Amino acid sequence: MSELEFMSPVGSGHLSTSDGGISLEDISDCTKVLVRAGRGTAAGVHLKVTYGRSRRRRDGTLICGSRPDEWTLLAGPGQGAAVVGSVSDEGFVSIVDISHGRAMLRISGSDSVDVLAKVCNVDLADDMTPDGAVFSGSVAKVTCDLVRDDRDAGRSYLISCERSFGGYLFAAMADACAEFGINVPAGLSVH
């Protein structure tokens, strides 16, 4: 199976402006593992992240406290087994590889906040949504999980949604980006 290519639900790749104001990237192929662990389990203790916050593990895995007693672990493509294996399943713990079930986009750049403000009614001010913040919200009317995951000292957000909405969500985000200089490819229409 190793030669099989992961098929993204987005299929539109990467859009960006030349001035770096906006970059919109499909990263649906990244590994996503959902961990649900009851209070007092080893998994809950070791993941060490509270609901609403995230931290990056030494191996690069981003651990997101996505809901009370629930974590989403994000890593590079093809690391599902390793990430699943890295979490203790002692006690009442569920570890589900949801890599295939979630589309994921990354939007970065100085205009990213303004783009998101067109499709998402969440206060993204630094004190309300600092780097590392994990939250849920409606993005272009799709229920999404978001993480502020700044890169190179610049704003960057991860947005994930149920896989089947991925193509639509990318089109909606590209549409929102158009105002800031993104050339939306023909056929990628939200309407």
Q: Is 173:107 a contact under the CB 8 Å cutoff? A: yes
Q: Which of 94, 150, 151, 185 touches other proteins by CB under 8 A?
A: 94
Using rule CB under 8 A, residue 76 touches other proteins: no
Q: How far apart are CA 94 and CA 147, in angstroms?
A: 22
Q: How far apart are CA 128 and CA 98, in angstroms?
A: 28
Nearer to other proteins, 25 or 175 (CB): 175
Residue 67, burial from CB neighbour count under 10 angstroms (0-12, 13-18, 19+) = middle
Q: Which of 17, 76, 167, 188 touches other proteins by CB under 8 A?
A: 167
Q: How far is the CB of 168 from other proteins (least distance, A)?
A: 5
Q: Which stretch binds other proteins (CB under 8 A): 16-24, 39-47, 104-112, 157-165?
A: 157-165
Using rule CB under 8 A, residue 99 touches other proteins: yes
**What are the structure tokens assigned to 185, written together?**
């490819």
Q: How far apart are CA 43 and CA 65, in angstroms?
A: 12
Using rule CB under 8 A, residue 117 touches other proteins: yes
Q: Which stretch binds other proteins (CB under 8 A): 15-23, 39-47, 55-63, 111-119?
A: 111-119
